[in-house]
């Protein structure tokens, strides 16, 4: 089987990076993580990469006068690695339109809400405050519209009466660790296409684009 080289971008703990590392199948390495790049030198995601024998690269956004010059260096570093897919795993920078378009169709992100509901920050608190019965997470292709790209897969998590934003976030994060490696594997296996702004799995809208709710 052909291996799909990827680069992972992180800013913090990198727990979704760890999920990708943990689900690698050494006997059938469909996904090859060529490097982990962080905009923060102290990001724990770099330590996770080192423990797994994956090269870590720092491109500190504070070293650049503006977003455009930072993104230009990020592109230079990524392109030198020749990945087929760029994975945002808690990368806390809003990327320029030029960066996003450079990797159109091969740049993915995971967002802790059931998009299109609650793009942006504080998603779990907003869901609880609005009296929602469920929250979740979404893996999507990245477009210039923040959190607005075509959806690959979602997972729904029931909001319990006693939930706080933190307790809900912890349960959603557990499911992020399930769906992100799955979506990346679908890409690696060439099963995903985008037609008319919609993601198709094996040429059809996937029944798994909305996984059944997870009860705690």
Which residues carry out catalysis? 111
pLDDT score for 216: 36
CA quadruple 143, 145, 146, 149: dihedral sign: negative
Contact 42, 10 (CB under 8 A): no
Q: Which of 177, 171, 179, 155 is nearest to 216 (CA)?
A: 171
Over residues 17-51, the pLDDT tens digits come to 999 999 986 656 799 999 999 999 999 999 999 99
Across 29-33, 47-51, 84-88, 98-102, least confident range: 29-33
Over residues 147-185, the pLDDT tens digits come to 999 999 999 999 999 999 999 999 999 999 999 999 999
Contact 180, 109 (CB under 8 A): no
**What is this structure's pTM?**
0.93
DSSP one-letter string for the chain: ---EEEEEEESS--HHHHHHHHT--TTS--EEEEEEEESSTT-HHHHHHHHTT--EEE--GGGSSSHHHHHHHHHHHHHHH--SEEEESS--SPPPHHHHHHTTTSEEEEESS-TTSS-SS-HHHHHHHTT-SEEEEEEEE--SSTT-SPEEEEEEEEPPTT--HHHHHHHHHHHHHHHHHHHHHHHHTT-EEEETTEEEETTB--GGGEEEEEP-
User: Could you give the domains of the chain?
Assistant: 1-103 (3.40.50.170), 109-216 (3.40.50.170)
Tokens representing residue 207 in the block:
């029944």
Contact 48, 17 (CB under 8 A): yes
Of the two residues 2 and 158, the one the predictor is more confident about is: 158
């Amino acid at each position: 089987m052909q291996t799909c080289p990827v680069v992972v971008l992180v800013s913090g703990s990198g727990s979704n990076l760890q999920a990708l590392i943990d689900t690698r199948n050494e006997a059938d390495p469909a996904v090859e993580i060529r490097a982990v790049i962080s905009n923060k030198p102290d990001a724990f995601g770099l330590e996770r990469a080192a423990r797994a024998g994956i090269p870590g690269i720092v491109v500190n956004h504070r070293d650049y006068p503006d977003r455009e010059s930072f993104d230009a260096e990020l592109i230079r570093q990524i392109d030198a690695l020749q990945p087929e897919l760029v994975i945002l795993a808690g990368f806390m920078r809003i990327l320029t339109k030029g960066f996003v378009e450079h990797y159109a169709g091969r740049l993915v992100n995971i967002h802790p809400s059931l998009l299109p509901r609650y793009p942006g920050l504080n998603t779990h608190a907003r869901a609880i405050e609005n009296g929602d019965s469920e929250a979740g997470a979404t893996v999507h292709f990245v477009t210039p519209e923040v959190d607005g790209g075509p959806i690959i897969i979602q997972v729904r998590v029931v909001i319990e009466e006693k939930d706080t934003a933190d307790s809900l976030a912890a349960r959603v994060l557990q499911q992020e660790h399930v769906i992100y490696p799955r979506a990346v594997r679908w890409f690696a296996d060439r099963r995903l296409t985008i037609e008319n702004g919609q993601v198709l799995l094996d040429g059809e809208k996937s029944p798994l684009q909305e996984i059944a709710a997870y009860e705690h």
